[in-house]
Amino acid sequence: MSTMTETAPTALEKAALKAGPLGELTRRNEVFSFLKPQENPLIDTRHNMMLYVEGVSVSFDGFKAINDLNLYIKKGELRCIIGPNGAGKTTMMDIITGKTRPDAGQVWLGSNLNLLKMDEAEIANAGIGRKFQKPTVFEALSVWTNLELAMAGPRGVWQTFRARLNGEQRDDIEYVLELIGLKDQQTLLAGNLSHGQKQWLEIGMLLMQKPKLLLVDEPVAGMTHQEMDRTAELLRSLAGEHSVVVVEHDMDFVRSIASTVTVLHQGHVLAEGSMSDIQSNPKVREVYLGQ
Ligand SMILES: Nc1ncnc2c1ncn2[C@@H]1O[C@H](COP(=O)(O)OP(=O)(O)OP(=O)(O)O)[C@@H](O)[C@H]1O
Ligand SMILES: [Mg+2]
């Protein structure tokens, strides 16, 4: 029977072993990224606030893409962000996730984590998950394996093929399968899913990381009406446990989510409120709805 200890150590493993028992304990994580514990420092949400974006500005070649942006997302809230093309919606997500650094302002996760002092990986580990528009699932692997690979914790690709899942980990996968409505498709190859199902699988993969804040950019582009309804239901069910920020152009979809809506215009918040407040706001009608 072959066991892990019988395998000849690789150069990296030798380097870790050379550091001695104590060194091994402290350095293993640096040497083997897949052994790195998923860091999820406690986010201080005692003020019921998950995200603070305050006075944020960023310019690209003198053009102010984000201009004194203020945005507050409550714990467990589902927020929709709308706005015309070029309003700065994606740039705002780039700033929150550390992809773009602002020229001015503050961005905090809870009241204790200064996101401007963290890099992209640290921000992701702290509990912010981002869903880009295009689904990026592993097409040649099953739905189940996609979720397994995305699992939070000291597992990685390497361990997935060596170690068996424990009961709790299986439960986590079952739970997410149920939530994203792909229980019956769990053995299918992800490549055989419909466009909508791939989007849900990717949301499921984000959920395996147990994020506190989910950022979702244009989730329903290219979906059928039925898939859109199902997506609205899914995002609503995620709120409460997670804070969810959804950027979307489709007004019927935004209306169906029925959450607080923030209108961005020229990198600044133009209006905020319920969908009916927004629709009757003259400033919004002027710049956004073109009336
Ligand atoms: N890296 C960059 N370099 C230069 N300009 C940029 C960069 N990123 C964004 N911009 C500009 O900033 C503005 C805001 O773009 P952004 O993509 O954030 O808009 P958006 O609200 O997401 O639009 P859409 O609804 O079309 O997705 C645009 O004018 C865009 O061209
Ligand atoms: Mg965009």
What is the structure's pLDDT at 24? 41
Q: Rounded to the nearest 5°, which phi and psi values hold at 119?
A: -90, 180
- Ligand 1 pocket check: which of 53, 56, 60, 220 to mutate, most ligand atoms within 8 Å of Cβ? 60
Give domain status of residue 89, yes or no.
yes
The most confident of the ranges 5-14, 18-27, 175-184 is: 175-184
**Residues 249 and 147 both lie in one domain:** yes
Mean pLDDT of 200-207: 96
Check pLDDT > 50 for residue 123: yes
Relative to the CA of 61, which ligand 1 atom is closest? Answer: 4
**Do 110 and 121 form a contact (C-beta atoms < 8 A)?**
no
> % helix / strand / coil in the chain, to the nearest 5?
40, 25, 35
Among 145-149, 187-191, 220-224, name the most confident range. Answer: 187-191
**Percentage above 70 pLDDT, the chain:** 80
Residue 237 has pLDDT above 60, yes or no: yes
71 within a domain of the structure (yes/no)? no
The residue nearest atom 17 of ligand 1, judged by CA position, is 90
What is the CA(101)–ligand 2 centre distance, in A? Answer: 17
CA 28 to centroid of chain Cα atoms: 28
Give domain status of residue 50, yes or no: no
Rounded distance from Cα 244 to ligand 1 centre (Å): 21
Q: Which ligand is nearest to the CA of 65?
A: 1
pTM of the model: 0.83
Q: Is residue 59 in a domain?
A: no
242 and 180 share a domain?
yes
Nearest CA to ligand 1 atom 6: 60
The upper half-sphere exposure of residue 66, i.e. CA atoms within 13 Å in the direction of its Cβ, equals 25
Q: Does residue 83 fall inside a structural domain?
A: yes
Number of domains in the chain: 2
What 8-state DSSP symbol labels residue 191?
G
Summary mean pLDDT of the chain? 85
Which residues, judged by CB distance below 6 Å to any ligand atom, belong to the binding site of ligand 1? 60, 65, 83, 85-91
pLDDT of residue 233: 95
Q: Which domain holds residue 27?
A: 4-31
Q: Check pLDDT > 90 for residue 18.
A: no
| Claim to verify: residue 124 and residue 265 sit in the same structural domain | yes
| Cα–ligand 2 centroid distance for 216 (angstroms) | 11
